Amino acid sequence: MLVKTPSAAILILALFSCNRPDVPVLAPEYLHNVKNLKVITSMINTKDSTISILYGNEQALRFSGDTLNGHQPGEEFEMVTWEQKPMPHWYGTNMNGRILFIETVKVNAGTANGVNFKYALKQGPAAPFIKPKSHQADRINLITRQVAAVFPF
Amino acid sequence: MKTPGNTLYKRSLIILIGPVILLAALQFFSPAVENPPVKKEIILPADVKAIMKRACYDCHSNQAEPAWFDRIAPASYLVAHDIKEGRSRFNFSDWDANPPAVQQLLLWEMVNAITENKMPLPSYLAMHPEAQISAAELTTLRNYVNTLPGRHKTDTASIVKPGTARQVKPPVPVSLNGIAYFADFKTWQIISTTDKYDGGSMRVVYGNELMIKAIKSRKFPFPDGTKIVKVVWGKQKEDKDGIVYPGNFQNVQIMIKDSKKYASTEGWGFAKFDGLDHKPFGKTALFAKTCINCHRLLVPESDFVFNIPTK
């Protein structure tokens, strides 16, 4: 007897109705590796259709998690910005696509007990090179004035 | 005395009559479709409801109207199975069984299941072509979900920081399926970051070393030991420059791959801890079934994971 049980009948019918799924291609080039830095916060830019994560070293995390007063030499910030794209298989979410650029800001000792900021901009791994739309001073301000997001303990 | 003609005749008779007898016997045990009373039917705009009624109600409501051929075995077994399964996922006739936030998520999930051609089930469509949802109807459904309250939800409450409010420190919270919360993900690499505008949240997703290796090797499925942690915040109101920042911390979600331990959920163990007190999600350990149902339906080809970097 070909069909012994109802469940066997269901299985056979289900097999006939299956579609062969398309396996997606993983994109390691969308990953950004940081060393000894942790996430401070993330940002969604609706005007530029980008999404960013701001990282910092321990000193930068302390500044961002505190009252945002008094930068100290040694703070290091790094912000990676991706283009946004619709999440595959889920209408209702946008996610990061390719990396557009990476910005770093190092806080150094300045004159008269002050500090200065050393800014650097790096292209993402994929061409073309897209630069931030605002000026360097505005970017430094954006990167170094973020309140840390609240994390689980 | 056996003759070749007699044997051939008997064999032909068995081949011809056997299936008929089998089918007749199956009818005696054929499951009947019952429609329990409607408790609280979903309220939808008329055009949306018409689509749902035509394409979804047979399996996802207490108002199933199976065709005559659906009532004949063996098809009746498949129909009964689909209705039981369909109602267990969500039931338009008992819509208030889910809290409002879950109702909205279910509606987005329906739109996605239709977009991905996973619903209505291909086996159902083969026998019920009238249930096919056209591109214009899908647009109607998409437009509708974009009117749901969660779509433009912003977190306007003051941000509660650890140490200033209810955050509870150890003992370490443990989910109902035994997965304990851990904090070392904070040193892992980020695998993705998302703007989940269907419910007003933004997320950062971390992967452990095995996950990163698997992504770099471009290989599915992910190996046992792979771990993914997703941190979820509300979304603050967009500022003048169009930037949206994280609002209050909402929850942290974990996926751990162990193909033997979590065989019933495609090898993935799920955990979710809500709020700053890290309350384990769910009422029973079966909560993970809700997670895998959606992952299994929509992303089987990416080893049941949504938040991975793909081209």
**What would the DSSP string read from start to end of B13-69?**
HHHHHHHHHHHHHHHHTPPPP--PPP-BPPP--HHHHHHHHHHTHHHHSS-----GG
B300 touches chain A (CB under 8 A): yes
**Chain B environment of A149 (Cβ under 8 Å):** 231, 233, 245-246, 249
pLDDT tens string B92-120: 999 999 999 999 999 999 999 999 999 99
Can you list the alpha helix ranges (DSSP code H) found in B90-218?
A: 100-115, 122-127, 135-145, 209-217
Measured in residues, chain B has a length of 311
Per-residue CA distances from B282 to B217, B288, B304 (Å):
35, 8, 20
- Better-scored residue on pLDDT, A94 or B70: A94
pLDDT tens string B186-233: 999 999 999 999 999 999 999 999 999 999 999 999 999 999 999 999
| pLDDT attached to residue B20 | 79
Q: Return the amino acid letter for B237.
A: K
Question: Rounded to an integer, what distance in angstroms lies between the CA atom of residue B63 and that of residue B160?
Answer: 46
- When scoring A34, A41, A42 by the number of chain B Cβ atoms within 10 A, the one with the most, hence best to mutate, is A42
Which residues, numbered 73 to 92 in chain B, qualify as contacts with chain A under a Cβ-Cβ cut-off of 8 Å? Answer: 73-74, 77-78, 81
Q: Do A22 and B301 touch (CB under 8 A)?
A: yes
Give chain B's domains with CATH numbers.
46-149 (no CATH), 159-302 (3.50.70.20)
Q: Do A41 and B245 touch (CB under 8 A)?
A: yes
Domain layout of chain A by residue ranges: 26-144
Evaluate whether ipTM surpasses 0.95: no
Q: How many CB atoms lie within 10 A of CB B127?
A: 13
Question: Rounded to an integer, what distance in angstroms lies between the CA atom of residue A1 and that of residue A23?
Answer: 37
Mean pLDDT of A123-135: 86
Q: How many CB atoms lie within 10 A of CB B290?
A: 14
- When scoring B152, B195, B238 by the number of chain A Cβ atoms within 10 A, the one with the most, hence best to mutate, is B195
Q: Do A150 and B142 touch (CB under 8 A)?
A: no
Q: Do A93 and B195 touch (CB under 8 A)?
A: yes
Q: Do B115 and A82 touch (CB under 8 A)?
A: no
